Each structure stands twice: as C-alpha cells, then as structure tokens.
Structure 1
Amino acid sequence: MSLNSHFVMFLTMKKKEDLNPVLLLLFHLMVWLYTLISFLPSYLLSGVSPPDGDSYGTEQMRAKRAKARSISGMPEGPYRAVSAAQRLKASLHPGVDTLDKMFQTAVARFRHKDCLGTREVISVDDERQNNGKVFKKLILGEYHWLSFEETLTAAVQLGSGLASLGQQPKTNIAIFCETRAEWLIAAQACFAHNFRLVTLYATLGGPAVAHGLNETEVTHIITSRELLETRLQAILIKVPRLQHIIVVDNTPTTWPGYPQNITIHNMATVQKMGVLSENGKHCQPQSSDIAVIMYTSGSTGHPKGVMISHSNIIAGITGMADRLPNLCEEDTYIGYLPLAHVLELSAELVCISHGCRIGYSSPHTLVDQSTKIKKGSKGDISILQPTMMAAVPVRSIPNLTSIIKDANRKLTHKECLVIWEIMDRIYKNVMMKVEEMSCLQRTLFILAYNYKLEQLAKGHSTPLCDRLIFSKIRNLLGGRTRLLLSGGAPLSAATQRFMNVCLCCPVGQGYGLTETCGAGTISEHWDYSTGRVGGPLVCCEIKLKNWADGNYYSTDHPHARGEILIGGPNVTMGYYKNQDKNQDDFIVDENGQRWFCTGDIGEFQEDGCLKIIDRKKDLVKLQAGEYVSLGKVEAILKNCPLIDNICAYANSDENYVIAFMVPNQKQLQLLAHQHGMEGSWEDLCSSKAVEELVLNALNEAALAAQLERFEIPRKICLSPEPWMPEMGLVTDAFKLKREQLKTYYHDDIKRMYAGK
C-alpha cells in the first residue's frame, strides 16, 4: 500500500468511525491525570532544582541563558563561548598536540576496550525483482571488534609497510575508500608516520579524482576493490605518478590487466611487510605539520584541497567534545557518513579520544528496510544500538515547513500524516510503524505528540509517553540513542521538533566548514530552540563583517548581521596550491590569529546563538539595480510542496529571475489531475500549461513568505530527473553547482529570457 493511499484510507476510516467525542474526551482526561500525578510534585519542587541538574527550565528560561558573548562589547563581536571568554582552548590534554599522541593517549587509557567494529557478512543473495532487475541482498551477523590496542597495532604495521614501499614522511598519500574500519586504521597509520593524508569522496567522478591525485602528486593510494574496479581503473592512465595501490579487502594476489608501472597490494600483505620491516622507527609529526589535505566536493569548478595541520584537528575536536555531554567508553557511535567529509572524520576522532567505540555501517545497510538488507534480517542500527550518531538533513525535508508553518504549533491528524508521507530514508520507517497502528493507536499517537511538545516547551520530560507511544519509533535508531547531531546543511525547524519528540533524544545543530575543521558552533544539548546553530565552540571565536552589497550591518536591529568570520586554532592552513584563493578567504589579524571568511551571512541573537540567514556568493544584481539573494529565494521556495529541489538564476543583463526545478512527482501529478491534465511524467514536466500551474503556486508561496516582486522567478523550467552527484549538477553533499547547472540548462535559459 502506498503512503498516499494509507493517508486516504485513514481519513476515510476517521470519518466512518468519527472517533467518538467521548473517546477523545477520555484520552484527554487520561493525559490530564498523568500530568497531575507525574509533574505536580516536580513543579512544586522546581524552585530548588540546581541550575545544571536534570531540569533546564522552560524554553523562555533556556533562551535567557548566555551561550556566548562579545568579548569586545561591540555588536559585531568577536563572540566567544561563555566558558572560553578569557582564552580559547586548543587541546584536550596538556602536551597532546598531534593526532598520533591523541591516539596513543587513548590506547593507554582504554587499551582493552572495543574500538572499531565491523559486521560479519554471512551470505550475499541475488533477489530478482518483478521488472527483471537483480539486487544484491545481504544477510549479516554480529559485530566483530578490534580493541584500542589491536587498532594501534594494525595502524603501526600498515604505516611501516607503507614506508617499506617507499612512502616518505611529509609526502602525500591518498585514500579513496568507503567509510569502514580500514579507513580509520589507514588514517592513524599516516598520522603516526607523518604521511600527509589526501582524502577524496568515494562518490567523486573520475575527472575530480584524477585532478586530486595529480595536484597532490601521490604515488600511493589506499582504496577498496569495488572502487578500484568501478572508478579508479578507468582513470589510471591519467595519473602517471601513481605506483602503488593498496586494496583494503581480502582480495586476489594477482591483478591482470592493469598498467605495468602500477603494483597492487592487499592491505594485509602490506601489514605483514610492516612486521618484517626494519622501519620500526618513524618520523613523528609536529603539531604544525600537515595531517590531511581534504578535498571539498566543490560547488564551483574543481574540488579544492584544504590543508589541515595536526594542531588544527586537535583544536577542532577539542571544541566539539566540550559541547557533547558525558562522552565516555560506555558510548557507541555508528559511522556511516563519508569519512572523507570533515564532519564524520571529526566525530570519529572525538569518539576515539574519549574511548567510545565505533561500529561501521553504510546507508545501504543502516536500518532494517535498507536497500541491501534481506527481508527479515536486521539492519546495522538494530544490532549495534548506538548511543550517538551524526546525520545530514535529507533533501526533501525542507518541504516540512510548508506543512507546519510554526514548529511549536500543535498538529492536526492530516498534518501528521502528510509529514510522514514526505519524510525520506529513516523517516520512511516511521510511517511503516504507523501503518501497523490501529485507528485508535494513531489518534493516541497524535495526542501524545502534541502533549509532549507542550511539555518540552515547559522543560519537562515525558517518560511514560516515551515508553508507551514513542518507543517503536525510537527503536528505529536502535533504542539507545541519547544524542543526534545534524550538520552539513540547515535543518528545518519543523523537522527538528518532530525528531526531538519522536526520537526521544536531543537533536543538535552544528555549523562548521572544512576550512575550520568542521568546528564553529554546536547547540547546547538542553537548548531545544530551532532555526539556530548554537554558540561558538571553545576552540574558536566568531565575528560579523559588514556587507554593504547585501545590506547587512552589525548595527542592524534587533540583531547584528554580517558575513561570518571564524578565527582560532582550528582555522586551517589554506588551500593546496591555490594562493589566490588563500588571499581571498583567509586573513591574519594584528595579533597573528587566522580568520576564515565563510561567505555565509549570520546574525547573533540576545543569548549569543548564531543564526544563518543568507549566503554571500549567491547575490546577483539585476539590470534595474536590485540585489537578489538566490540562496534566500531557493530556501523560501523549497517550502512549497511542489518542489523537491530548485536553483534560482538571474542574469545581470536582465530584470527578472528565472528558476530550474525538480518537482515533487506526487504533488505535481495531483495538481495536473485536478486540472484535467494527464500524461507521462516527462510529458507533464515539458508541458507549458503545467509550467503555468506551478508558477502560480510558486507566486503564492513567495508572496506569503514576503519575497519582493523582483525576487520571485518569472519563468521556470521543470526537470523530470532529480539532480544527483553522478550528473555533476550537485556536490556529494547535494549543494548546487551553479556553473554546471547554468551550462546544463543553457538552452532553457535562452528560452526563458528570449520572450521578455
């Protein structure tokens, strides 16, 4: 049964059964009695509760607690965390200033504790679909663990083996591999032997991978068998310096058909070479040495390599750890995001430094209903039962704000159902649990949701609701998650509220960039406010720079606004072989402190929390002199249910905005059907009449959001195909590649600007 048909069926059932008012009154009476019994004593005693205890007060009280303050006393800042007002913190422990020392310290403290876990593959089955396609389905067993000591041994052996293959200290070595235990072992080997680790997304296209390998002049690369055969093999001829390929899987010892100048090794074989090698002593890194050259996914042109020193990363994870509560060896983290991304690498290094174990997964095996999990088998998250995980917002989730205009407002039956309809990935599984409920249970669920929303606003917990109503949804993440961190893109207020309620754990937002080691801000775990990214971490400070072109000034009321500049020991060394870009984006002040100019526009609120409101690079000046923020237009129009993705475009020689968009298939087909239009998906997207219908809907949404007339797209182009990284139109983090989109839609741009 489709999700949409489920909603129709439920609403029909609701009308038939009419949900007797007496029954609803009984539910409300039960909730009232529960409130009286559970919270009256705590309410009476709340006046003597310690400020840092289990109760953090109402939302209004939490909003008044200072998260950061301007150390200059000026509205532009710089702002620092309250606990770092005197001095920025750059190290977890005294003297631990390199990643090698950090790992050695962790091994000394947690020697025999579990460190890295990999799930056993029992069998791989071919499952034939009705359309004839065959999918690989996995039956997986339990997790097998390496202790901290065993992980260190594996890393030392691999590092020595790489040295015996000719890898020299302070030279570059690449890793092009999926997120797995071997990735982190290889990274620790490089950190210990002072090899500069070049990281490349496993989803990067061939030209981008070749560019990174050639620019960094690597001779050794660590990869997996699948990526070697599907991605790397095709570009080897374009990477003439490459000599050694180390494959992390248990693979054949012979590799016919590869260039003669390249030798392919198994990782286990290289580790054995390390045991036998006389290179037991290695060149230990200094804190100022480059640890990682991390290639960003690149929203314009080729990916850029960011040079990150040991001290940069140490400072970044120090700031993150300070904001994450009660990290210890009892915690389990699930790693499935790309380790080539600064968010995942930093999160895993934070875990390592505090003795938390890391169990590895992938988006294809994460939950019970994942694409590679055989029906009836358990996904990784059900087996691992993590206490912490990181996530990035799903592309379709911003549409949620069109359904719930106010994240604090109570939900109706219909709104709850629509929310479940449009959620993706993990959120689809929420709906599967709801489908199992009776009509009575669904009504109880909605009542419980609205009740818990009220209690969260008052600073109260709801243990009975969590156990009786939300436990099934919480179990989608294993049932033990105590902290979920969102980064990489803004999380809508409504989505954050929904997750806070249903997943029964704090959902914090963070803001950082590769150029700042992923560190910038993270919201406090007790701060349930939405639409903000928290205050600065203890490793950095943030100030606002006036931007006259966008009309953003630190003197703006009620909040100071401007371009976000991040300064501190976590600010990286700059871009690899790109001095012009370094001069544009990095500055050094009179005190010798490095600052990164993010290009993002933010505003500081009364309690010191930062809110991201615009993007500097997305500003275009129209022919008549009006400035249009394309990012702002896109963010607002994404709230329209008809839109899955959108790219606004404006030519400075023209006087209006246009847009290319990927429509939501269900919503567009429903709209067309309502107006008597039928046809294939491709026919609907190419129809001028359908374009007009969508344009009218966009106008209504834009005017309701108070966009100026000149900001509203006057013409649009509908794309039947979603934009994926493989097409080169979005990055691996699904950020728009504007230049590539401009080229791809060149003919459509000419058409939309031709008939003025």
Structure 2
Amino acid sequence: MFEAFEAASRKWPDNKCLGWREQDKKTGVWGPYLWMDYQTVQKRRTDFGAGLVHLHQSIGLTIDKYGIGIWSANRPEWQITDLAAMSQSLYTVSIYDTLGPSATEYIINHSELNCVVASLNHIPTLLSLKERLPTLKFIISMDPLEDGEPVGNTKKALLGAWAAKEGVQLHSIYDIELLGQQHPKPFAPPSPDDAITINYTSGTTGFPKGVLLTHMNAVCAASCAHLSPMYQMPGDFSLSYLPLAHIYARVTEHAQLWSGCAIGYWHGNILELTDDLKALRPNTFISVPRLYNRFNSAIKSLTIEQGGVKGALSRKAVDTKLANLKSCGSNKHGLYDRLWGNKVRTGIGFDRLRACVSGSAPIAPSVISFLRIVFSNNFIEGYGLTETYAVTLGQLAQDNSAGNVGPPTFAAECVLRDVPEMGYTSKDKPYPRGELLTRGPMVFKGYYKAPDKTAEVLDADGWFATGDICKVDELGRFSIIDRVKNLLKLAQGEYVSPERVENAYLGSMNIFQQAYVHGDSFQPFLVAVMGVDRENFSTFAGKVLKKTIAPLDTEAVTAACGDIVVRKAVLREMDKVIKKNKMTGFERVRNVHLCLDPFTIENDLLTPTLKLKRPPAAKAFKEQIDSLYQEALAEEPKKSKL
C-alpha cells in the first residue's frame, strides 16, 4: 500500500486528500471542509515516518519492524500515522476509540507497543495505565500541546509533568514531524508479506484476538474494491465516520487513497451526520445496517408518512419505483426521480452519490429495496471478516436482488463444508448449505502470538473457516443463514456470545433456572426467554406486587410471569448483573419473557445431556420473541431525524 499512495501522490499532487471541519467556538456551528492536498499529506507522512524511526532509535531499538499504536476517532492524523508507518515498513495497531482501559491495556501489552499515537482525550488514560504498560515509552498527541494557554499551564506542561513522573515521553505529532525533518530517513518500502496491521477483533469471550494482516492482504482487498460497484475515481469525495479500527473502514480508505480521492472526516456527532454529508456531498458511501435503518425510518417519516400532496406524491413515487424494481430490476424512473427522488437525495447530501455498500451485518431486504429506489444508484451488500480484510463476497453492479451478499470477489475461492450436526449439507434442496470456507491472497497470516487459535480456523491448504453457515443459489450468490459457533451478530455488527450472557444471569439471579438469550441480526439488542425458579421467583414477584404468591400455585406463578410490573422489575435486576460483571451495553437484554419450565427433554428443546437446542428454541418461542422486539421498539421514541 506504500507504493499505491506514492503513485497517487505523484499523479494527483494537487488533489484534495484529507479534509476536516472546524467549529466556530462562539456559535458552535461547523464550517466548510478544509483540505490538505496529496503532496502535503505525502510530506507530512514522510517527516512523521522518519521522526518515528529516529524516536525509537533514541532508546536503542535495533529491530527494523515494530508496531505503532493508534488510539483516536477518525481524523486526518489517524491516516497520516498509518501512512507514516507504511513508509518505514512499520505496522499499526489500532485501538477502538470507545475501548475501555482493560482492553486497551491488554492490546498494548500483547502487541508490546513502545509508542501510541493518540488524541488528547485518551492521554490521561494512557498515563494512568502506564505502571501496567512496561513497554510503553512514547505517547504522541495528535492535538497541539501548546495552544495559546498561559505559560506553565499548557497541556504540555501539565501532562508533561505527569508523563515524566510515569517515565514516559510525551510529544505532539508536530514535534515528531520536525524531528523527522531534522533527521531524514530514506523510505523502507514494505514487502508483500510484511505486516501492515495487527487488528484486534472485538471479541465477547475473553480478550480480543490480534489478526495479523499483510500488505498483500491490503492490496488484494483494495483491488477488489476497485473492481466492485464501489470503484473510486480521482476527485471523488467520501465521508469517513465508521471506526478506522474496523477493517471495513480501513480497506475503503486504502482504495480511496490509491485512486486520488478526497476523504472528509466527520465532526464526531452521529446525530449530526447529515450535516457532514451535506457539507461534503460524497460520491460513494459505506455504512452498516443500523444507520441505513435510520435512513429508512427518517425518509419514510418525512415522505410517505406525510399527509396532503407531499405524502400522496411520495407514496405514488415509491409504489411505482418498487413495482419497477420487482418487475424489471430497475431502480430509476425519469419522472419520479426528477419530481421526488432528487429532492430527497439532496436533503441528505446524496445528490451526487454513485454507489453505496452495506456490510458488517445483514440488512433487511425491505430496507435495501426501499433505499435502492430512493438513492437510484448501485446499492450493494457485501460480506467479509477482519481475517479476510473485509473482502470475501459482494453483490455485482445492477444486481438489485435482496437477501444475499453476492458471489465471491475475484480474489476469493469459496466452498461450503457440511455441518451435519446442524442439519446443513451440500446436498440440501433447493440450495446447497454449509459452513463457508474461503482462501486467497486476502486471507490473514494468523492470530498474533496464538498459533493454536490460528490452527483452529486456518488449515494447511490455506482454507479459512469463517464459522458462518451459507446457502448458495443457482447464480452463485451466497446468503448467510446461521453461525457454526453460538455467536450472535446484532444489527450494528457486534458479536455476542449468548452463553456468556446466559451464564451471567443464571450465576447471579436465583429467580432463574433456565435461560435462552436471543439475538436478531436485524435488531440492535437482545431479548430473552427465562425459565423461573418457583420458590425464589414467587418470593420476588410477591414483594413486587405486594401480595403472597404460593410457589405451588401454578396459575398465580404464571400470571406473575406475565405481569408487566414484575417483568420490568426483573429487567432492572438483570441490568444490575450486566453492570456487576462489567459487560457491554450490547450484551444487555432489553426485554424478557418469563415462564415455567420452557425447555425440557420432553418438548425436544433440551438434549439428553440437558443442553439447550438453540434453533428449535428460537422456533418454539418465535411468537413470544417477535412480541418482545415489538414491545421494546414501541417504547423507543420515534425519530424522524438522523
């Protein structure tokens, strides 16, 4: 990827490259995008890369390949750091901006980082962790440390004193760029097999795994992006807001910088994302179902759900375009695009949007169909993992089908492996089903310092076992239908281990005997079916309802299970368990169905060894689960704005 950026910088030196917006401190209004061109970014990258090497040499580091940590939200300095590392055959280790101290500590220690480049807000956390970070020698601030503040009270003076006490050097990025100018270094171009990043996955069981990815992986993935409907052209604009610590966003920016595009970074407030979009007017856009669902709801609220002429025109336009999409596969309409669609797109900032992609989790077919006829462009769904640099499967241009993620990308080989214990085989009708295995130059090198974990998913022939169950249709299009492992993927792309959540509740709340936690890839939260313990639940419910409930009175216990006051009291106790166990917000159960003995061997929801049969349990309680989601969603305020 070093050569790719160099080529783009030579070819389009004056093109806009990295952009940001500044806020008026008096009015709070965000201004227009300001830009660095390619030659400016190239120069800053060169100086920063040389400065990083000189800094590490100053402490006697003799190895020529090591990691540079990055901990910040998306901003130009994030990308400059990544490019600087590439220029000297270094690799970056990204830390999610929202990550807590314990996971941050683990990543820094596991990857043995000497240096972390961070935004100012994370520096106090790094300093407070320093005594448990033996390898950390340098903290580099992306923000100025002296900015018109009184002498002795600058950030550099205050934080610098703390840093000195902890035995760590504190610098600004501008200090290190100047150091690089004073001590220039020739480029040390990476080889294809050199690491470009160790990307830590957001695991839910234990600490995250470090996925070791190479320049070969990155170039392959960016090439796949070039040959997809998401191709980039010189001078295109694109908004960067999905976390760059996620490989999905990272590969997108690789492709954009290779193509001479302009990347504008958001100002950090998801509720004001359309303000950034209207200021930038991107040509391409990547996102996840959670945001597209918000677009879907907001657009409908402002168009087809309106009264009068506006609502009537909107409904006619949508009905006509959806009918055309179904009958002839076209999402364009000469009249209604001009009268209706163009206005909707302009209101979002999508008036010149050529293509967009949804990834990270499944998107509901009804949502993608509606947005296709609104945006009137190439709207595709794709599939990939961190281990495949986000690139494995992707819909083709003009394929307006829904409910699939397309065929393999040009670099990927894909096969299905039978999983008979789950009832999936290549001989299934009407379509073959099984676990998706893939191989190709985009597949990762292995898990960092974890050969045993690598061997579990990567065989000697290079096949990577994704853990996802797929079916493939007669046109070679894959659909993700299940998981081999009991990991759930929510609408925002987060993985949840239901057994971990279940065990937390069962281990902390004596009112429960059984637990089934359910996650839907089209919903952003969990619900649960919980089997209550007669004795303890009766006591609990009796206190809530201020009456006596006899444990053997099945009718009274069942009535208490369905009482909304009792259920809400149970949910409050369940929330306490999440906090007590320091679990994440997406592991929280938002609604619960309570009952006596929901899972038994007799009703075929338990195995003879008393293990829960998850797919049958989901099927048996489908009506209750659907009701739980409807009830929880109805309690959320309806949003007509993004």
Is TM-score (shorter-chain normalized) higher than 0.5? yes
Q: 1:664 to 1:380 in 2, by over 3 A?
A: closer
Q: In the TM superposition, what is the alpha-carbon distance from 1:753 to its structure 2 partner?
A: 8.3
**Corresponding residue of 2:153:** none
Alpha carbons of 1:727 and 1:316: their partners in 2 closer, same or farther (altered >3 Å)? farther
**Amino acid of the structure 2 residue aligned with 1:464:** L
After superposition, residues 46-445 of structure 1 pair within 5 angstroms as 99-123=1-25, 138-166=28-56, 169-229=64-124, 231-252=125-146, 253-254=156-157, 255=159, 256-258=161-163, 259-277=165-183, 279-324=184-229, 327-362=232-267, 364=269, 367=272, 379-394=275-290, 423-424=293-294, 426-427=295-296, 429-430=298-299, 433-434=302-303, 438-445=307-314
Q: How far 1:504 sits from its partner (Å)?
A: 2.6
How far apart, CA to CA, are the structure 1 residues paired with 2:497 and 2:435? 24
**TM-fit CA distance, 1:584:** 0.3
TM alignment of 1:522-671, pairs within 5 A: 522-589=394-461, 594-618=462-486, 631=488, 658-659=516-517
Structure 1 position 165, deviation (Å) = 0.8
Change over 3 Å in CA distance of 1:723–1:502 after alignment to 2: farther
Cα distance in structure 2, aligned partners of 1:728 and 1:313: 35
2:361 equivalent among 474, 477, 489: 489
Measure, in 2, the Cα distance between the counterparts of 1:107 and 1:727. 49
Partners in 2 of 1:281 and 1:664 — Cα distance? 48
Judged with a 3 Å threshold, the aligned counterparts in structure 2 of structure 1 residues 502 and 152 are, in CA distance, closer, same or farther, namely: same
Q: Judging changes above 3 Å, is the alpha-carbon distance between structure 1 residues 149 and 664 closer, same or farther for their aligned structure 2 residues?
A: closer
Distance 1:320 1:723 in 2: 43
- Give unmatched runs, 5+ long, in structure 1: 1-98, 126-137, 371-377, 398-422, 619-629, 639-644, 668-682, 695-715
Distance 2:576 2:401 in 1: 32
Match of residue 692 from structure 1: 562
Report how far residue 110 of structure 1 moved: 1.5
Q: Deviations over 1:247-274 (max 9, x none)?
A: 1112233223334311111111110111
TM-score by length of 1: 0.64
Which secondary structure does the structure 2 equivalent of 1:588 belong to?
coil
Which residue of the partner structure matches residue 11 of structure 1? none
**Letter of the structure 1 residue corresponding to residue 315 of structure 2:** I
Percent identity reads: 28
Structure 2 counterpart of 1:36 = none
Q: Say yes or no: does 1:512 pair with 2:384.
A: yes
CA shift at 1:497, angstroms?
A: 1.2
Q: Which amino acid aligns with 2:516?
A: I
Q: Equivalents in 1 of 2:450, 2:43: separation in Å?
A: 37
Q: Which runs of 5+ in 2 are unaligned?
A: 58-62, 147-155, 507-511, 528-543, 546-556, 565-569, 603-642
Q: Is the 8 A contact 2:419 2:435 kept in 1?
A: yes
C-alpha distance 343-661 of structure 1, shift in aligned 2 (>3 A) = closer
CA contact (8 A) 1:118 1:144 kept: yes
Secondary structure at the aligned position of 2:25 is classed as: strand
Instruction: Determine helix, strand or coil for the equivalent of 2:479.
Output: strand
Code of the residue aligned with 2:16 in structure 1: it is D
Equivalent residue for 1:475?
346
- Measured in 2, the distance between the counterparts of 1:260 and 1:353 equals 41
Structure 2 CA distance for aligned equivalents of residues 471 and 114 of structure 1: 26
Q: Using a 3 Å threshold, how does the CA distance of structure 1 residues 717 and 442 change in structure 2: closer, same or farther?
A: same
In structure 2, give the amino acid aligned to 1:170.
K
Number of residues paired by the alignment?
535
Deviation of residue 145 (structure 1)?
A: 1.1
Deviates more, 1:100-109 or 1:719-728: 719-728
Inter-CA distance 723–486: structure 2 relative to 1 (3 Å threshold): farther
- SS across alignment from 1:163: helix
Task: Please report how far the alpha carbon of residue 283 of structure 1 lies from its aligned counterpart in structure 2 after TM superposition.
Answer: 2.7
CA contact (8 A) 2:304 2:314 kept: no
Aligned amino acid, residue 233 of structure 2: C
Cα distance between partner residues in 2 of 1:207 and 1:174? 16
1:318 aligned counterpart, secondary structure: helix
* Structure with larger RCO (C-alpha < 8 A, sep 6+): 1
- Taking a change above 3 Å as real, the CA distance of residues 726 and 174 of structure 1, as seen in their structure-2 partners, is farther
Whether the aligned pair in 2 keeps the contact of 1:365 and 1:379 (CA below 8 Å) is: no
Are the structure 2 counterparts of residues 465 and 110 from structure 1 closer, same or farther at C-alpha, using a change threshold of 3 Å? same
Q: 2:485 is paired with a residue of what secondary structure? A: helix
Q: Does the Cα contact within 8 Å between 2:488 and 2:519 map onto a contact in 1?
A: no
Residues 679-698 of structure 1, C-alpha deviation per residue, up to 9 Å, x if partnerless? Answer: xxxx89xx98585379xxxx
Root mean square deviation of aligned Cα: 3.9
Distance 2:583 2:459 in 1: 31
- Structure 1: how far apart are the matches of 2:502 and 2:206? 19
